Structure 1
Amino acid sequence: MSETKNQSKRKQESTMLQDKMNKEIFEGDIVKIPCEDYADFHGSFTLHEVIQVNGQWVTSYLASEAGRKLPRGYVRGFLLDNFEYDPKLFFWSEDYKPRTEIEVVGNAHQDKHLYSDKPDQD
């Protein structure tokens, strides 16, 4: 019995967070993060892949609006650092949604054209 390409891939885990458009954020998603620091170098945003490191949700730098590329994984930060939230409500209320300006723009496995000069290969 042969598996389809999608069945053979590991199912992406939800971070249980939503972007500014209320779209659920999953492991492997590419998120667009507004750039306040170093905007003259990066432009108005940077692209990051959402990954899990030692049980923590992390954003791993891929590229910037200005096309700046660093080695994959060179710059990382906690995903939750991109949200404004009240810690008490965040941990104790099921209905509470933290505010954010990040936006899911693709998936690192399917949308390599967003951050790589190399064409997508299947």
Structure 2
Amino acid sequence: MAKPQTVDDYIAAFPIPVQSRLRELRALSRASAPLAAEGLKWGNPAYSSGTILFAFAGYRGHSNFVFTPSTREAFTDELTAFTTGKGSVQLPHEEPVPADLLRRMIAYRIDEFENQHILWR
């Protein structure tokens, strides 16, 4: 299978139910960070403004939304129902997208980058 060249290619490579979830995450990302450039980084959809702000990735049973560790840590109390990693939040496909929480995390990450100059690490 060819490596995806665009976000559309990336999404199209998944089964239909996963595509639906990824389209939802893409729409939320674009609406929440309208000035960010969309592209593929590390083979996954990512949004950047000179540096990567956040990314998401699809898997068979879940999607990951990935921020800086500092952004993820700022929402620790609200993420107790989710499996998390250093900077990631795992979103099971069978659960609704926590859109409000993700919007607030994206806003935090953008503010963190613009005002605190915290780069992706």
**What TM-score results when the alignment is normalised by the length of structure 2?**
0.30
Q: With structure 1 as the length reference, what TM-score do the two structures score? A: 0.30
Q: Which has a greater percent of helix?
A: 2
More strand by share: 1
